[in-house]
Amino acid sequence: MICPKCECEYVNGVKVCSDCGIDLIPVDEFEGNLSHPKDWVIVYTGNDLIETEMLKANLEGAEIDSIIISQKDRNLIYLGEVSPVKLLVKKKDAEEALSIINDINSTKIDDEE
């Protein structure tokens, strides 16, 4: 669950944002309800939620806020959506986030060699 106002993510079971006092919405409905949608950009898309969560954890380690939007359970996937998992960061962090993601991906290739 996520707060549509301050964009803080909460664990399941929490229904109201403790900071704003407004109702939380499911994360997968969040994309269309971003309070500042232009501030967010997609830096990664993929099919693997575990891998995307790993990237998110790395970004958090670099103090970059990120959101994962998964369309796995939604109808879009049956309509030919090939990248159901998206990782979003704020625009100001996009460049740094991309370089971190690229570093992770190139390290992965090195490990396989």
Q: Is 17 in the site for Zn ion (CB under 5 A)?
A: yes
In the stretch 34-63, what mask flags binding to Zn ion with x, by CB under 5 A?
------------------------------
- Structural contact between residues 39 and 66, judged by C-beta atoms closer than 8 angstroms: no
- Name the minimum Å distance from CB 90 to Zn ion: 16
CA distances (Å), origin 85, targets 13, 15, 17: 23, 24, 25
Q: Is 23 in the site for Zn ion (CB under 5 A)?
A: no
Q: Which amino acid is at 96?
A: E
Q: Which residues would be at the binding site for Zn ion (CB under 5 A)? A: 3, 5-6, 17, 19-20
